[in-house]
Amino acid sequence: MKDVSALKPPSFARIGDPISQVSTPALVLDLDAFDANTRRMAELARRHGVALRPHAKAHKSTAIALRQLELGAVGVCCQKMSEAYPFVAKGVLSIHISNEFVGADKVAMAVELAGYARLSVCVDHPAQVDALGLAATQAGVVITVLPEVDIGQGRCGVKGNDALVALVDRIARYAGLRFGGLQAYHGGIQHLATWEQRKEAAGSAAHATAQYVQFLAARGIRCDVITGGGTGTAEFDVASGVYTEIQPGSYVFMDGDYGSRDWLGGWKPAHSLFIASTVMSTAKPGLAVCDVGLKGVAVDSGLPVLRPGDHGDQLQYKAANDEHGILQVAAGDTQDYLGARLYLIPGHCDPTANLYQQYVGYRRDVVESIWEIDARGLSQ
């Protein structure tokens, strides 16, 4: 009997192989498109004198974050405390937690991370300030705190000058905390359908943010950092004169939801992220079944679509089961698609990336790199 203790699946991708030989399902990255997207956003921020702090929740990969830093990013945003650990461990030493957190375990992680990196966090309640302030002061670390203001989304963040200044004053009580400015993000406007809608909404969000900044300035309180914005509004945010820093994330990939929106002026990022899939069954007339279902693609922002030029006129992804993707075959098409290789554009890149362990980067249809998605699943 053979020893089974070391048994494991073979590598699903190898550098130097054609992309067509990568075992599916696989998350594959067109490196030419990825590089162009990454450079363009860095240049946009640089041209307007605004710092770029990309959102790492989009890709959850230290390899991608380090590439963003090489091009001038000042650090990254993380959405959860545990998510920050792989980035700090790989040398990303400026982290903004762009989300609130509660609990002794989360506070302990913040204090620990602050011993290794420049850490900033968000708050929208005095109790959050007190818990973090006591722990940071006792540990002898300093954590930068950015109160979040609600500029229209109606989710997290304080609303009103009184609530904001109460947080600022509370932060000042603790030697372990430093007021750093404001978190002012409106996620709800990032996916508005038209360019004009996003421009108008971004202007309103920037105006609301500016009013908070002016209120604090009148009290002699300076905001060193005013951070927010995203992929859908980045071109407006950098030109607003309000934000000192932007937080786009999806721009490196450009998912199906963003891709379906209107863009003007040649700014639209290119699709770089695809799910390689194989048609595994054609047993039913008029249907093809591929190997990417709910465990391989997030469908909260719509079902995936085929990459332009890949049987898009003949096949349409209609439903997702756990391990099956159901595709409708166009009427009158009698081709047997069994074994056909498909490249799907996910509707929402962030949760899709969290389903995989690696990105397979390719250039001119040859695998060039394999990057770990080393923050996947870190949601605490």
3-state secondary structure the chain: CCCCCCCCCCCCCCCCCEHHHCCCCEEEEEHHHHHHHHHHHHHHHHHCCCEECCECCCCCCHHHHHHHHHCCCCCEEECCCCCHHHHHHCCCCEEEECCCCCCHHHHHHHHHHHCCCEEEEEECCHHHHHHHHHHHHHHCCCEEEEEEECCCCCCCCECCHHHHHHHHHHHCCCCCEEECEEECCCHHHCCCCCHHHHHHHHHHHHHHHHHHHHHHHHCCCCCCEEEECCCCCHHHHCCCCCCCEECCCHHHCCCHHHHCCCCCCCCCCCCCEEEEEEEEECCCCCEEEECCCCCCCCCCCCCCEECCCCCCCCEEEEEECCCCEEEEECCCCCCCCCCCEEEEECCCHHHHHCCCCEEEEEECCEEEEEEECCCCCCCC
Contacts of 326 (CB under 8 A, 6+ apart): 287, 289, 317, 318, 319, 320
Residues 6+ apart with CB under 8 A from 298: 346, 347, 348, 350, 351, 352, 355
What confidence score (pLDDT) does residue 5 get?
86
Q: Which residues of the chain have pLDDT under 70?
A: none
Residue partners of 196: CB distance under 8 A and separation at least 6 = none
**What pLDDT is recorded for position 368?**
98
State the Cα–Cα distance between residues 182 and 122, nearest whole angstrom. 8
Predicted local confidence at residue 230, as pLDDT? 97
d(CA 277, CA 280): 9
Looking at residue 267, its pLDDT comes to 86
